[in-house]
Amino acid sequence: MLIFTILLDGIAYGMVLFIISVGLTVTMGLMRVVNLAHGAFAMLGGYLSSVMIRHYDAPFIGGALIAALVCGALGGLAELTVYRPLYRKGELAQVLLTFGMIFISIASMTLIFGTTPIAESMPKWLEGLVDLGFRTYPTYRLFLIGVGALLALGLYFIIERSLFGARLRASVDDPGMARALGINVNLLFTLTFIGGCALAGFGGAIGAGILPIEPFYALRYLVLFLVVVVIGGLGSFRGSLAAALAVGLIETTGKYLLPQLGSFLLWFIVFGLLLWRPYGLLPPKSAT
């Protein structure tokens, strides 16, 4: 039954990565803007929900939702003021500026909350173990899998089944043609950016049990988020789900079965995957 444990652990981990990274995938695909500061929104979400829960007695999910709202709003504001002037500036300027934003976020969180990771604010109903018949399993991880699946389903309907989604996909595939057809790509992008940041904030908040919240969060997990984006394919929602689950499963399987390889396994496989499919697992049409 070890295989089920590996599957559950890997999927739970992958779901957290998915919730946080999906916004980054879509925004990078849409505007080709390299937003390295995406993880800062997830970190902010984690801090905000913790403050909400501890100081204002918000329930766990309520705290995460408030964090999502605030992160979304801040994301929208940042898009209009900081990111928009960057679109035409080229990748180097984007990398420098967004990297600078990471440092600002690290410094401000250190100033407010100190350098040690903050205490987890897990509610009682998530703390225990559930009997799955063949073993007992932490409730929290099952909760992550459930929430991740629900969000994936919701995003599937928004992106693949709604008019908004059709316009979004069209703009990712061919922004020039989309504009010519009268789609307001700028507005679309602002909305997507807000959504992506809100999801990051939400993911940071509920995923705090797996990725502990501390000032260096934005930098520490940046590579993982970028791997999800690259493996999945820029701009591909389905790709980011597949990539996040793959990263989660590979990391977890490696730790169970080949612990002496450490984190090499993941990088080997990423390396191989990119040689095989340089544009990611499920790239949008514009990339190929």
Partner 1 sequence: MKAIIRLAAIAGFVLATTTAIAQTVKIGLLAPFSGPFAIWGSQFKQAVEAYQKVHGDSVKGAKIEVIYRDNAGDPTRTRQLAEEMILREKVSFLTGFALTPEALAVSELITEAKVPAIIMNSGAAIITRKSPYFVRVSFSVNAFTAPIPAWFEKEKIKSVYILVSDYAPGHDIEEALKEGVKKIGVNVVGAERMPLSTTDFAPYMERAGRANPEVVYMFVPAGAPSIAIVREFAKRGLKDKGIKLAGSGEVQEAFLPAIGDDVVGTISGFHYTETNTNPQNVLLRKTLVELFGKDATPDAGSAGAWDGMRLMYDAVAELGPKVTGDQFIKFARGRAWDSPRGPISIDPEERDIIQNMYLRQVEKRDGKLVNIDLMTVPNVRDPWKIANPNAK
Q: Which residues bind to partner 1, rule: CB under 8 A?
A: 5-6, 9, 13, 107, 110, 114-120, 127, 129, 136, 138, 140-141, 209-212, 214, 216, 220, 251-252, 255-256, 259-260, 262-263
d(CA 86, CA 140): 39
Q: Between residues 2 and 275, which has the closer beta carbon with respect to partner 1? A: 2
Task: Take residue 31 and report the two structure tokens written for it.
Answer: 């505007």
Q: Between residues 77 and 261, which has the closer beta carbon with respect to partner 1? A: 261
Nearest approach, Cβ of residue 242 and partner 1 (Å)? 20
**Reduced to 3 states, what is the DSSP secondary structure of residue 263?**
coil
- Helix (H) / strand (E) containing 130: strand 129-131
CA distances from 168 to 155, 165, 255, 259 (A): 12, 5, 38, 41
Nearest approach, Cβ of residue 16 and partner 1 (Å)? 9
Nearest approach, Cβ of residue 84 and partner 1 (Å)? 31
Q: Between residues 220 and 277, which has the closer beta carbon with respect to partner 1? A: 220
Q: Are 87 and 33 in contact (CB under 8 A)?
A: yes
Q: Between residues 198 and 243, which has the closer beta carbon with respect to partner 1? A: 243
Nearest approach, Cβ of residue 45 and partner 1 (Å)? 17
Q: Between residues 77 and 129, which has the closer beta carbon with respect to partner 1? A: 129
Nearest approach, Cβ of residue 217 and partner 1 (Å)? 8
Report the 10 Å Cβ neighbour count for 92. 9
Residue 279, C-beta contacts closer than 8 angstroms, at least 6 positions apart: 233, 234, 287, 288
d(CA 242, CA 285): 17
